[in-house]
Amino acid sequence: HAKKNRLDQQIYTQQIDGNTLERLQLINELKSAIDNGELVLFYQPKLDLKLKKVTHVEALVRWQHPDRGMIPPDLFIPIAEQMGQMNALTHWVINESLEQYLKWKSQDIELCIAINISAENLKDEGFCQYVLDLVTHKGVPIDVLTLEITEDAVVSDPENAIKQLTVLKKSGLKLSIDDYGTGYSSLAQLKQLPVDELKIDKSFVQNLMVNQDDRIIVNSTLQLAHNLGLSVVAEGIEDEGALNWLIERGCELGQGFYLSRPLDADKITDWLVSSPY
C-alpha cells in the first residue's frame, strides 16, 4: 500500500513536470484552492523517545483537488512560492492547526503542533505579528506551536529572518531547523538563529541500519547539537532498528513511516487512541 502511494506520487510528478499546460492550469487553480476549502492538513506523530509517548505532530498540507485527486505538497508549494501565495497558504495552515489543537484538547488529547514555514513568510514584515495575534485570539498557549524552517528560508535575507524569529522565540514559540544536513550552512552558523531544535534530514536516517557513514553523521550531529543545547528530532525512521539506535543515543524525538505515515485528523486521532504510544 505504501509502495503504491509512492508510485502514484511519482507518476503524478512526472505527468505535471512534463506538461507545461497542466502546470499553468495548476497555478491558476491554486489561487482559489484555499478559498474553495480544497486544502487539507495531514498530521504525522513525533514520538518522545524517552517518554515513549507522542507529544507532537507535524502538520503537512495536501491539496484535495476536485478532479486530480490528492496533490502532494512538493508539487504545489514551489508554485505557491513563485506566485506569491505562500502567506495566504501559511495563514490557512496555522489557523487550521490551532483549530485542530482546540478540537483535540476538547477530547483530552494534548499535542504540540509543528508547522512548516517558507522563505516567503519570513520576508513578510507582518508575519510574526500575525502569528502572535492569531494565537492570542484563539486562546492557545504559544508554546504549543513549533515553526520548522529550512536554512534556505534564512539565507536570502538573514538579518530580517533573525529579527522575526527572535521576536517569535521571545514570545515563547519553539523554532526548529528542518532538513538539517542537506544545506550548506554549518551548525555553528545556524546556532546564530534563536533555535531550540534540529531536525536531522530523513536522507541520513532512512538507511541508518545499513549505512555506516549515515550512522557516523547522525551520531556526531547528535553530540554536537546536544553540546550546543539543542534537542534533536530524527525524521525518516522506517524500521525498528533505526528507532532503537536513536533511542540508545539520546535523540529526543522520532518521526517516520515506521511509527506512522502522515494521516488526516480523523485517522491520526484513531491512531493516537489505539497505538501503544
Q: List residues near ligand C2E by CB under 6 A.
A: 44, 60-61, 72-74, 77, 93, 116, 118, 148, 178-179, 202, 206, 235-238, 255-257, 262
Q: Which of 29, 178, 197, 214 binds Ca ion (CB under 5 A)?
A: 178
* 179 near Ca ion, judged by CB under 5 A: yes
Distance CA 193, CA 105 (A): 31
Candidates 18-26, 35-43, 173-181, 183-191: pick the segment binding Ca ion (CB under 5 A): 173-181
77 binds, among ligand C2E, Ca ion, none (CB under 5 to 8 A by kind): ligand C2E
Nearest to 260, CA basis, from 56, 7, 95, 61: 56
Residue linked to cell 506566485:
83
96 binds, among Ca ion, ligand C2E, none (CB under 5 to 8 A by kind): none
CB atoms within 10 A of CB 4: 8
CB 251 to Ca ion: min, Å: 15
CB atoms within 10 A of CB 190: 19
Nearest to 30, CA basis, from 69, 70, 67, 63: 63
73 binds, among Ca ion, ligand C2E, none (CB under 5 to 8 A by kind): ligand C2E
Q: Which residue is nearest to Ca ion (CB)?
A: 148
Phi and psi based region of residue 229 (left: phi greater than 0; alpha: psi -120 to 50; beta: remaining): left
Q: Which three cell numbers stand for residue 25?
A: 492550469
CB 274 to Ca ion: min, Å: 25
72 binds, among Ca ion, ligand C2E, none (CB under 5 to 8 A by kind): ligand C2E
Q: Which three cell numbers stand for residue 63?
A: 491539496
* 116 near Ca ion, judged by CB under 5 A: yes
